[in-house]
Every structure is written in C-alpha cells, then in structure tokens.
Amino acid sequence: MKTDKTVDTKVKLSTLWIVVMINMIFADIFTIMVELVNKNTLDGMPAEVKTVMAIAAIVTNIPILMIYFSRVFPYKSNRFFNIIVGFFTIIYVVGGGMLTPHYIIIASIEVAVLLAIGDDRALRFRVCRMKNRNVMKANRKTARMAGICYLLFFITAGVSQIYLSKVFIADNAAATAQNILATQNQYLLIFFSSVFGHIICFLFLALALYRLLKNFDKAQARVMLSLVLVSVSVMFVFLFFQVGALFVLNRAACFTEFTSGQIAEIATLFLQMRFTGEYIIGIF
C-alpha cells in the first residue's frame, strides 16, 4: 500500500535545528582540540570571562529551544521566529568563529541549513505544487479511463440495441424465433458484447467516476456508485433472459408438452424481458 512520504513542515524544521545544534557542538569540540594541541591557554580571554560565557550560553540555547518551539508554535509565529532566529544564528556562527579548516567546513554546513530553515516555506510550497501536479496527473489518467469505458459501453450498447431491434418483432413470435435461429452466432456475440459493455465497462466507468468525485463529495459519490451497482446487478439478471431465448429454441425437443408456436412465444417473452431490463435500469 502506498503511503504519503511528505515530511510534516514542523518536524522538518525541528530536525534542521537539531542538525545546526550538533554542528555547533562539534565545532566547539574540534576548536578545543586544536587549541589544546597548539598549547594555547585562556590568557587571551577577556577579563569578564563569566559574562562572555553567560552570553554564549544564552545564544547557544536559542537554537536548542527552537528544536522544541518549531514543533509547537503555530504557522505564522513559526515562520517569524525561524527567520529571525536563523538570521541572528548565522551572524553568531560567522562572527564568532575562526579561519580554521574544520570551522569553515562546519560553519558552511550550518549556514546552508539555516538558509534552508528560512526558505522552508518556498520548499514546502514546491512540495505542495508537486503533490498537486501528481494528483492532477492521476485524475487525468482516471478521466481517460472513464472516457474509454464510456465509449466502449456506448458502442456495445448501440450495436446490441440495433441488432436486437431487428431480431425482435413484437407482434410476431414465430418471426422473432426464426430470426434468432437464423443468426445464432451473431446472437451469442451480441450477448457477450452486452455483458462486456453493460456489466464490465459500465462498472469500471462507475469506479472511475467515483475516484474522480469522491474528493469533492464522498457521500454523493457513494450514492452514485451504489445505484450503479444495483443497475449492473439488475442488468446482469435480464441479460440471461436474452440468452435464455436462444436456449429455449435450441432445446425445443425437451418441451414435448409445448407446441412450436408456444415455444416461440416463450422465447419472444424472454427477449422482451431483456428489453424491459433496460427500462428498469434507466431508473437508476
């Protein structure tokens, strides 16, 4: 089963802040290692080192807090604070660093991630547009399927109606029976084409329309699909009356108690029931 793999915007923002925070930690660790290897001491630190460290603690905790706030703030506040905090964090990363290879690499990654945080709305909109394009593409494919099914239904139903209207003579059961027996192969072919058109194509047409309409009004789409299922079931029963007419005529020897005229009338009645089925499904 396919699932929607689009990451929620708040989760994405929070994850990006985690990336920033981890890079800041490793930048400090690597800087300490470089200073220890170079045997540097804290002699170069300002006299008010406690104040400097307090400010650094506050500035460092802002990205840490944004990991949480990105998940809980509403959209407008989230956008505002992510842009503002991201901007000041870039200043802190660039202005408070050094020109060592490890810091340049880490700072470049941090700045790139922070720019992505500030540009997240555009990224999210691009994802939405891609999703909309995919939905439109799927809808076009479904609409084409519906059109093909309707075309096949229209062709098979039209051919069937033309043929049966020539075969069936309402006031002359004997002539109707003779027409059926004279064109048995065509009669069976029309029966199978009717099954294909009235049952299979019409059912797939309804399913395609349901997929198109359910996003607009799912309740109405379900009603439409339910009515089609009823009409397909009714038509399936009445199609057997059509093939039943040929069956009765070909098994005339089994009906010893009936005359040939009565058998012809039964076959004509079955065929007439087939036409009645079309009137009934027209209700749905």
> Which positions ≥6 away from 227 have C-beta within 8 Å?
284
Domain range list for the chain: 9-118, 139-281
Helix, strand, coil shares, percent, the chain, to 5:
85, 0, 15
Q: Is the model's pTM score more than 0.85? A: no
Name the CA dihedral angle for 171, 174, 175, 180, rounded to a multiple of 10 degrees.
Answer: 120
CA distances to 1, 177, 230, 231 from 132, rounded to whole Å, are 20, 58, 34, 34
115-165 tens-digit pLDDT: 777 765 544 544 455 555 666 777 778 888 888 888 888 888 888 888 888
Lowest mean pLDDT among 92-96, 145-149, 259-263: 92-96
For 59-76, the pLDDT digits (tens) are 777 778 887 777 777 777
| DSSP letter string, 155-206 | HHHHHHHHHHHHH--TT-HHHHHHHHHHTHHHHHHHHHHHIIIIIIIHHHHH
